[in-house]
Amino acid sequence: MYNEKVMDHFSNPRNMGVIEDADGIGKVGNFVCGDIMWIYIKVGKNNNSEDIIEDIRFRTMGCAAAIATSSMATELAKGRTITSALKLTKQDVADSLGGLPAVKLHCSLLATDALVEAIYDYLSKTGLPVPDDVLTKHNRIKTDLEKTEKKCMNPKVQQDSSTKD
Ligand code: FES
C-alpha cells in the first residue's frame, strides 16, 4: 500500500517532538478519522531580514500516512520563509513522498493545515498582519478541530458516526 519513502518517514520520522519555547503552535484534527496533530515552529531571520522557519517539530496521534506526511512537511518547511512555507500544499507533501494511496491523500492536508495554524499563531502573537487566505483557513481548521475534539470526547457521537463510516 505504501511506497518505501513513505515507510521510511513513518519508521524514522524527522523532526518529531516538541519545541518548549515555540514561537507558534498549530493544532489540527480530522473529525472523520479523529487524528490530531501539532506543529511547533521557531522563527528566525534570514540575510534579507525575512522571517524564516528556523526549527520545526511535530507530534501526531494518527495513521502511518499522517506521521509520514508530518515528517515530510516539516522537512519541506524547515529553512523556508514564512511566505514560502504558506505556499506548501498537500500535493507538494504527497509528491515529495513519491505519492500516497488516493484514500490517504487527505492525511497530508493535516500536515499542511498544522503548518498554517502554527504560522497563524506566530503572526497573531507578534501582531503581524494575517493574510486573508490564512485567516479563512484558520477558521475552517478551528471548526474541524472543535468537531474532532467533540467527537473524540463524546463516546455517543463516536459510536453513531462509526456506524456511518
Ligand atoms: S486516517 Fe486520519 S489522518 Fe490519516
Dihedral sign of CA atoms 60, 67, 113, 16 in order: positive
**What class is the 4-164 domain?**
alpha beta
- What is the domain partition of the chain in residue ranges? 4-164
Distance of CA 91 to the CA centre of its chain: 13
Q: How far apart are CA 1 and CA 94, in angstroms?
A: 14
The confidence score (pLDDT) of residue 115 equals 98
Residue listed under C-alpha cell 497563524: 120
Q: Is pLDDT above 60 for 29?
A: yes
Q: How far apart are CA 11 and CA 29, in angstroms?
A: 22
The answer, yes or no, to whether any atom of ligand 1 lies below 6 A from the CB of 107, is: yes
Question: How much distance in Å is there from the Cα of 43 to the middle of ligand 1?
Answer: 28
The confidence score (pLDDT) of residue 163 equals 42
The answer, yes or no, to whether any atom of ligand 1 lies below 6 A from the CB of 66, is: yes
Q: What is the pTM of this model?
A: 0.90
Mean pLDDT of 20-31: 96
Q: Is pLDDT above 70 for 138?
A: yes
